[in-house]
Chains A and B, each alone.
Chain A
Amino acid sequence: MTTQRDRFFQTIGNAYKNGRDDLVILTADMGAASLNEFKDDPNFLINIGPAEQLGACISAGLSLQGKKAYLYGIVPFITGRCLEQIMVSICSQNLPVTIVGSGSALSYDLAGCTHHGICDLGLMRCMPNLTICNGSSLEMVEYYANYSLGCKTPLYVRMDKKTYSYKQPIDKEAGYIFRKWPWNNDKPIIISTGAITNYLAEQLKPGIGLIEVFQFPFNELDLKYDIMNMKVVSVEEGYKIGGLGDSLSFLPNVTKIGFDNFCEAKPREEYWKILLREALNA
C-alpha cells in the first residue's frame, strides 16, 4: 500500500524524470520504497546518512547554487535535531528548501518518545519565512508535493507514517488551508490537524463542527469571521505548547486539548480516544 512519503516522492521523482534536473533529494533515511529506483543516481538522490544538521546546511548550499533541494528524514530528527541549521542556513536566507518529515505525531507510536513527532509543530512554527504543510491524506500530500515544486521559499511538509485517504475529495473551492465540516452555531467547534482529524470526523456527532488546518501560518481572518463568537476546542496529537492550540490564540474562547508531557509507547489509537474524550468534556 502506498504510504504518504511514497506518494510524495513518487510525485517528485516523476517531475525529475520529466526534465526537472534541478531537483535534488538529500535523505537521512532510505526507508521510502519510492526512492529505491533512484539509489544509483547521485545527481538526484544523495544518502547523507544520519547527519541531519549537515543535511540542512547542504540543502542551503545546493539552493544557493540554483538547485531545488529536498531534505528528508523522520520528523523529530529532521526538525528538532537540526533546528538551528534550519533557522540560520535555510530560513534566514529565505531559501526554497523543502524539508520533508515522515512520522508526524504518534505515527511511530511503539517506537517510543525518541521517535514521536509531538514537538515539531511548535518548533517549526517559530521559524521565520517557513510554511508548514500538514497533510493528513495521500491526496493532500500529493498536492503539497506538486506545490513544493514551484515554491520559492522554505517549506516543511509534515507527513504521517500511516496511510489515510479521504472518503470525500478535497473541496478545491475552499482552498488547501482548511477542510471544514458543516456545523450548528449553537454547538462548539473542534479544530484539529493531522491524521487524528480523520478519526474525529468519524466519531463526532452531526452538528459539532470540525475544521482541519492544513497549513501554518494561516490567515487568521479566514477563521475569525466564521467562528469568532463560538466556543472552540483545539485537538492536537502533539505537545500543547507552541502547536495548533497556540496558533489559535487570536480567538477569544479556545480550550486546548493535547499532550502535557511525553507519551508512552503504546498504540496511538488509545491516545486518540483520550483526546476525543477530553474534547467532548470540554
Chain B
Amino acid sequence: MIKQLQQKANEVRRKVLENCYKYKNSHLSSCLSAVDIISTLYFGGFIGEGVGKFVLSKGHANETLSTILEMMGMQRVRHTDHPEFGNVGIETTTGSLGQGLGIAVGIALANKINNSNEKVYVLVGDGEMMEGLTQEAIHSIYDLDLPIKVLIDKNWYASERQPGSLLFGTVLKTMINGHDVEQIYDALQTDEKVIVCDTTKCFGLHRIHDINLINWNMIHYLTPNDDNIEEFRKELNDYSER
C-alpha cells in the first residue's frame, strides 16, 4: 500500500508540473509541497462519499488537487488557479486565505449535528496561518470538538517571506514529514485534530535549491516556462527513479 502511494505521488508530481506548464500556473512551488499530502488523502481512501470530504484552504495549490481529481476520473469543467465551487469534486471555493478552513469547520459542524461519520480534511498553508481567521477556526475546532483533521503544509515560505509562528504550541503536538507518505498515512488515522506537515517548496526540484536556478525569494511564484521546463522534467524523473 505505501509503495503504491509513493508511486502515485510521483505520478501526480510529474502531471502537476505538466499542467502548471500548460496553464501557466504561477504556484508550482506550493503545488509541489502539497503533493504527497493530498495524494495520500485521495489514493489512500480517506476521501469519498460518506467517508471524507477534502477542502483545500491553501487554494493556490489547486493544480495539485485538480490533477488528482482528473486522475480519479473527474474532469475539470474549467481551469482555475484556485478551486471554484461548481467544478467537479471541488467542495467549496477557496483562495482567499483562511476562509477554506472556516468553511471546513462549518461542514464538520453539520456532520456532527447530523451524526454523520463522514470526516472533513482540510489543508492549510503555514503562511495562511498568519490570517486571524485561522486562529478563530482552530479554536472552534477544539471548542466544539468537531470531526475534522487540519493538515498544515509547513513549507517554511509564505509568499516572499518567512511565515510567522503558528502560535499553537500547546495544541500542535504532531509534526510529521510531509513528504513521507507512510507518516502521512499513519497520521491520518490518529485522533489528532491538527497535524503539522514539514514540507519543502518545489519538492522534487532539488537542484533549484542547490544551484540557485531562480531567485529564491520569488520561489512562491515559480512558473514553469520554455526556459526551465526541460530541466524541471529531468529533475522530477531523477527524483522518481531515486
Give A residues with C-beta under 8 Å from B: 24, 42-43, 46, 48, 51, 53-54, 56-67, 69, 84-85, 88-89, 92-93
Determine if A64 and B107 form an interchain contact, defined as CB atoms under 8 angstroms apart.
Answer: yes
Determine if B111 and A54 form an interchain contact, defined as CB atoms under 8 angstroms apart.
Answer: no
Q: B93 interface residue, CB < 8 Å from A? A: yes
Q: B-side binding surface: helix, strand, loop or mixed?
A: helix
Q: A60-B106, A61-B106, A61-B108 are in contact. Are A93 and B133 (CB under 8 A)?
A: no
Determine if B110 and A61 form an interchain contact, defined as CB atoms under 8 angstroms apart.
Answer: yes
Determine if B105 and A57 form an interchain contact, defined as CB atoms under 8 angstroms apart.
Answer: yes
Closest to B113 in A: A43
Closest to B114 in A: A65
27 sampled A-B residue pairs with Cβ under 8 A: A43-B113, A46-B144, A51-B136, A51-B140, A53-B102, A53-B132, A54-B102, A56-B102, A57-B99, A58-B105, A60-B106, A61-B106, A61-B107, A62-B107, A64-B106, A64-B107, A65-B111, A66-B110, A67-B113, A69-B106, A84-B99, A85-B102, A89-B92, A89-B99, A89-B102, A89-B103, A93-B93
Q: A-side binding surface: helix, strand, loop or mixed?
A: helix
Complex CA distance for A173 and B218, rounded to whole angstroms:
63
Q: Which residues of chain A are within 8 angstroms of B95 by Cβ–Cβ distance?
A: 88
Contacting residue for B106 out of A42, A43, A62, CB 8 A: A62
Nearest chain A CB to B118's CB is how many angstroms away?
Answer: 9
Contacting residue for A53 out of B92, B108, B133, B139, CB 8 A: B133
Nearest chain B CB to A152's CB is how many angstroms away?
Answer: 15
Nearest chain B CB to A209's CB is how many angstroms away?
Answer: 44
Q: Which residues of chain B are within 8 angstroms of A24 by Cβ–Cβ distance?
A: 109-110, 113
Q: Which residues of chain B are within 8 angstroms of A54 by Cβ–Cβ distance?
A: 102, 105, 133, 136-137, 140
The residue among B101, B111, B133 with the most chain A CB atoms within 10 A of its own CB is B133
Determine if A57 and B137 form an interchain contact, defined as CB atoms under 8 angstroms apart.
Answer: yes
Determine if A61 and B144 form an interchain contact, defined as CB atoms under 8 angstroms apart.
Answer: no
Complex CA distance for A65 and B95, rounded to whole angstroms:
20
Determine if A88 and B110 form an interchain contact, defined as CB atoms under 8 angstroms apart.
Answer: no
The residue among A46, A69, A84, A88 with the most chain B CB atoms within 10 A of its own CB is A88
Q: A51-B136, A64-B103 are in contact. Are A88 and B93 (CB under 8 A)?
A: yes
